[in-house]
Chains A and B, each alone.
Chain A
Amino acid sequence: MSCALLLLLMSLALAMGTGAAVEIQRPRGVPLSKRQFYEENKPFTCLDGSSTIPFDRVNDDYCDCRDGSDEPGTAACPNGSFHCTNAGFRPAFIPSSRINDGICDCCDTTDEYNSGATCQNTCREMGRKERESLQIMAEITKEGFLLKQQLIHEAKRGQEDKQGKLTELQGSKKGLEEKVEALRTVKETAEDPEKEAKERHLKAWEEQKELLRMEKDKTRMAEAFLELDDDADGYVSVAELQSHLELDPDSDGSLSETETQGLLGGADKVDTSTFETVWSGIKDKYLSEVSQGQSEPPAPVETPQEESRDFVSDHDSDHYPEDYAGEEEEDVEDDEEDDHDEEEEEEKVPPTVQTPEKREDDEVSMPPYDTETQSLIDAAQKARDDFDEAERALREVDDQMKNLEKEIGFDFGPSAEFAYLYSQCYELSTSEYIYRLCPFNRVSQKPKFGGSETNLGLWGQWAGPEGNLYSVMKYDHGQGCWQGPNRSTTVKLTCGKETVVTSTSEPSRCEYLMEFTTPAVCQEPASLDEVLHGHTEL
């Protein structure tokens, strides 16, 4: 292989605009900056100093130097690199393994000098395109940066506004707190007489009720005596009482003579006045003979309830096999959730059936308050309402303050340039979904044609690399994935005049990537000349 030297013709006109052409000799693949190490006809010392070889072994397609520096223009060294000048575009280093591999890597075609690959020199074209796109970028950056200044200005003002409002609120909060305390006292003062008057009223009503109850009891006793005194002799005898089995003290189903006598206080018969003491012993059990025939013990309520429990568990076990036979795993999940709901509903049914309705005689309602009491109550109620309202107003102020403090506390970038994104949302519509980014809040995805929204992550933190922290936002703890992690979204921010979501993707299951342009990340533009020539060697 004899290709030790290559005559490189470079038209510097493109890069420097001088119009002069210069010829520079150096071995293939060597950058100008290292040209002095490759002096023709002098022994070559590997750049790492490891050995020295005759110059004709430079680029002789055999690797002599451990650092690969003797073969800058061939693929012989596994760790070598090749320099393409790429006149008209940007120079580049490529790994030696890409020399003559049949693939055009350098736009000036110099990497494919012996592979049969037909490469076109595209450097001018690429240079032109790059300049164009850099120009466009520069314009965008310039305008974006102006917008950013505005944003910073607005954010600053907004921040001041908020701070001012916060201070204002702090002031009104204090006033409100005082007001609440004052009204609390007013309320408590009004409530004491109200309470007393109400208690008084209630007590009078209780006493009245007691009187009524005693009267009723007496009437019942008299009726019972008449009912029991079958022979109307003015006495209730053992025999007359014995028919009332419900009074049986040992509940053995029969009421013996001795037992009955016991009930009558040891006597064989009692008159109306003695019956009073007897009555107090039996009145809770006593059943009037008039109603006795119809009354039956209430049916037990437990049984049907147990049945319904059985039903629930049957229902469950019936469902499981079906679930596992299901094909769509997500469906299974849904089914299980449904089952759960049903179960919970069943459990919510109270275990005891309705308490028996209150007897009518207890239902006699309390008489209305007298006007004096009522006016005390009205006064107290007004004090309460006033107090509640003041408290509500205080809470509202508190909430406003909390929101403001939260907003003020957010990291909106070094100059709060991202503050304008707060409480905004931006959407991108794809073929299947509408994606929605609400910065500092959440990211979500909604199917275009019906279906519920999926949470792709809640605001987490700024997550750019060191030195460029504010270039990436991370949203996490979104909706969980089946057999997977919770959904999360990485938002990459690039400089743009407009604030737009430009693309979304899901590179890994349930890990979303969103691209977002905003003026807020636009850097102060370098001069166009610097952009275009900053990286070129010539």
Chain B
Amino acid sequence: MTRVKINELKPLKPRFEVPDVLINDPPTEPLSLLSRDENGVVLSLGADSQRLIVSAKPFRLDIMEGREVLLSLNSRGLLAFEHLRILYLDWLLSLLGPSSISLDFSLPGVENVYGIPEHADSLKLKATDGGDPYRLFNLDVFQYEVFNPMALYGAIPVMLSHSAQRTMGIFWLNAAETWVDISSNTAGKTVFGQMLDYVQGSSETPQTDVRWISESGIIDVFIMLGPTPTDVFSQYASLTGTQAFPPLSALAYHQCRWNYNDQEDVAAVDQGFDDHDIPYDFIWLDIEHTDGKRYFTWDPHKFPQPKDMLQGLLDKRRKMVTIVDPHIKVDSSYKIHNEIRSKGFYVKSKDGGDYEGWCWPGNSGYPDFTNPEMRAWWASMFAYDQYEGSMENMYTWNDMNEPSVFNGPEVTMHKDALHGNWENRDLHNLYGLYVQRATAEGLIERSGGVERPFVLARAFFAGSQRYGAVWTGDNAAEWEHLKISIPMCLSLSLVGVSFCGADVGGFFKSPSTELLVRWYQTGAYQPFFRAHAHLDTPRREPWLFGPENTALIREAVRQRYALLPYWYQLFYHAHHSGQPVMRPLWVEYPQDTATFSMDDQFLLGRDLLVHPVTEEGARGVTAYLPGKGEVWFDVHTFQKHNGAQNLYIPVTISSIPVFQRGGSIIPRKARVRRSSSCMEHDPYTLFVALSPKRFAQGELYIDDGHTFNFDKQKQFIHRRFSFANNALSSRNLAPGSQFTTFSWVEKIVILGASKPSKATLKTHDGKESQLEFEFDASMSVLTLRKPGVNAGLDWTVVLQ
């Protein structure tokens, strides 16, 4: 990894350097000098024969590996640095001039770049020649358009480049308004033109050039050299940290609406789920639950007894999320406002008074979340004795944290508003991260540091993954919006944010029944699974569309719940090592060029491939199954398909095309109950999908599902399942950890198996017993009946 930092030697006043995003200062290594001449030096980057060539005139950096240039800085000479100048000066006031910065990067051999969310655009970024650049500026956009480089709610200035040879990353650490221009020498060429180049051998090397421009701050850029996608994820995680490990229940289904009207409504919806036997874990309350949009309060008529309501949910082992937005009603009878004002915690306007803007409550102040004292105070407001009516099964949603200011420029804060000494212009994109951070810290503190928080936010920045989940904001009930949810979450996954989802059903407008069903089916296989709807739309709880559609939605939600053990394990890995949960195919098949621009299907971990149906009236979809010599099993029919092919799959309204990779083992819980915590002690069914070489591997991660004990006290179970030489075994992957579970293994389903004469189970205490089994010869599926072993212990099943 290489960091390039450019600042003024003696600026008139300090320029803003982004704090609180890097988890620690990356360790530095001394560079050894290889050679020098009058115009530059050649430095060794340590490992792998990588060298850095620094040229003075014109200034340029080239990162080489062997004889190849991996990346060049300022090769196009677009480096710009507007140093601070005095425009106007009198005895009181000095006005400093513009302070923008810019730098270009050239990526020889690269045709594909990804990342820099948030945009409602394809996964593979487009060349921006002749159009608007991709803009990074956190904004509350009303009814956003898809396939558009316009700025949206969040900004993560991280771009990944990928070719069949190498994956790299560029992290432009700057929180001001930022623009990214992309040009490519192959972008304009037709496939035929590229072929012709290839045949004639006259092809110039493909190259992508990228230019970053920011309004202020300094140039501080990290070059992550890969070379594999996994390496880039680890390198980025070492800088900004990994995904917060959510409570298991947060990975289950969430029921939201603007708004559930009152306690009776909440109780009726909760009962509706039981009456229709559809599981759910969280019910959400939007802004109308408050007393006049004063967050941390309850409407006294609609929610007179919030604790009774929460206790009612707790009795059913369910949870609630209430909204707490960062705009505070200016109202001298509102405690929160009075305290913030008296402590001087509000963002200030340029003339020194408290900055005020218009938002849901009317005239509002905006707490200065960049101030650590403010954040500590805010966190303390989530204590059970401060947030009246709150209980341990109540979590938090931070909306509008761009921040949204209805009467501000572009519906956000004025750039000259002051956060301490810094202007909003310097740190705008960082505000949302701080809001979510302070809230998450509050939820941790209220439990004495024991419980993992769950906080959903709309605005985010690099590092936000450490504080919770994000969603794609105020989408619409349109097929295009369903489709775009895939690349939008994939783009976030690539830059650290795994816990991503889109409003199921679409926020604005009312979905057709078919669209709603398809959205549930898609959302069930995306990380954050929440239905949400605008106040003005008709009700759309899952049972309001007739028994057939209720059954379709029930089935989609049940598939989600059955797969929760796998989701949880993927999130453990995302937390542990920074590997994304939802992955573009090229991440696992980096040399398969056919996958490079694919964004209508995706992988969960390495082992599940999902191709949701996102076309209206679809009769079939064509899924690409990657991997030459590999096989994939349809998870519903167990039918086997070869890899490296486009597979046409006829679909009906009940179809959710999902495939398990041959060579993998996935644990599920087949006993779907009304909430995830009801399923805690339930047994596992293992789905062993054999590779053509009759091999398979998988994992199982178990902990208490909601505390930090997995981390602080190593209280977890992490098992490795391996199938090889006709034996399936479970062994401990974390010998230093300890945890016990009631869960056991109730069934083992082996796909692509042949019929054994007997199956012998050997348990950890050396006892042997015979397992009964069933064999379906037509599908080559072997089902082992009731091994009955505890999921936390060693065991082996030998097939003979």
Contacts and interface: CB of A to CB of B under 8 A. Distances in A.
A506 B288 CA distance: 13
Contact of A507 (B265, B406, B674, B746): B265
Given A95-B277, A327-B406, A509-B535, A103 B316 contact: yes
B551 to A, nearest CB: 12
A327 B536 contact: no
B536 A62 contact: no
28 contacts: A62-B747, A62-B785, A62-B786, A75-B671, A76-B746, A78-B670, A97-B671, A97-B673, A98-B673, A101-B317, A101-B673, A101-B678, A102-B678, A103-B317, A103-B678, A327-B358, A327-B406, A431-B301, A481-B536, A482-B536, A505-B265, A507-B261, A507-B539, A508-B537, A508-B539, A509-B536, A510-B536, A511-B539
Interface string B730-757: 0000000000000000110000000000
Closest 5 CB pairs between A and B?
A: A101-B678, A508-B539, A62-B786, A97-B673, A484-B536
Interface in B254-296: 261, 264-265, 277
Give the size range of A's interface with the partner.
20 to 34
Residue of A431, A505, A506, A508 ringed by the most chain B CB atoms within 10 A: A508
A191 B363 CA distance: 75
B682 interface: yes
Main SS class of interface, A: loop
Given A78-B670, A78-B672, A507-B261, A103 B538 contact: no
Residue of A78, A102, A485 ringed by the most chain B CB atoms within 10 A: A102
A57 B261 CA distance: 48
Contact of B672 (A97, A102, A103): A97
Contacts of A75: 671, 673, 682
A457 B263 CA distance: 26
Interface string A484-514: 1100000000000000000001111111000
B358 A511 contact: no
A78 B674 CA distance: 12
A492 to B, nearest CB: 14
Interface in B523-537: 535-537
Contact of B671 (A78, A482, A483): A78
Contact of A511 (B264, B535, B538): B538
Nearest to A510: B536
Contacts, number: 62
Residue of A61, A103, A327 ringed by the most chain B CB atoms within 10 A: A103
B407 interface: yes
Given A97-B674, A98-B673, A481-B536, 20 more contacts: A61-B746, A62-B747, A62-B785, A75-B673, A76-B671, A78-B670, A97-B277, A97-B672, A101-B317, A101-B673, A102-B678, A103-B315, A103-B674, A103-B678, A327-B358, A327-B406, A327-B407, A506-B261, A508-B537, A509-B538
A510 B534 CA distance: 13
Contacts of B682: 75
Contact of A508 (B358, B538, B679): B538
A431 B358 CA distance: 28
Contacts of A76: 671, 746
Contacts of A327: 358, 406-407
Interface string A75-101: 110100000000000000001011001
A484 B264 CA distance: 25
B261 A505 contact: yes
B536 A102 contact: no
Contacts of A507: 261, 265, 539
Nearest to B746: A62
Nearest to B362: A327
Contacts of B672: 78, 97
Residue of A60, A97, A327, A505 ringed by the most chain B CB atoms within 10 A: A97
B113 to A, nearest CB: 39
A509 B301 CA distance: 18
B536 A483 contact: yes
A509 B277 CA distance: 26
B778 to A, nearest CB: 17
Contacts of A102: 317, 677-678
Interface string A454-491: 00000000000000000000000000011111000000
A91 to B, nearest CB: 18
Contacts of B678: 97, 101-103
Contacts of B277: 95, 97
Nearest to B508: A483
A508 B538 CA distance: 5
B346 to A, nearest CB: 21
Contacts of B316: 103
A488 B746 CA distance: 53
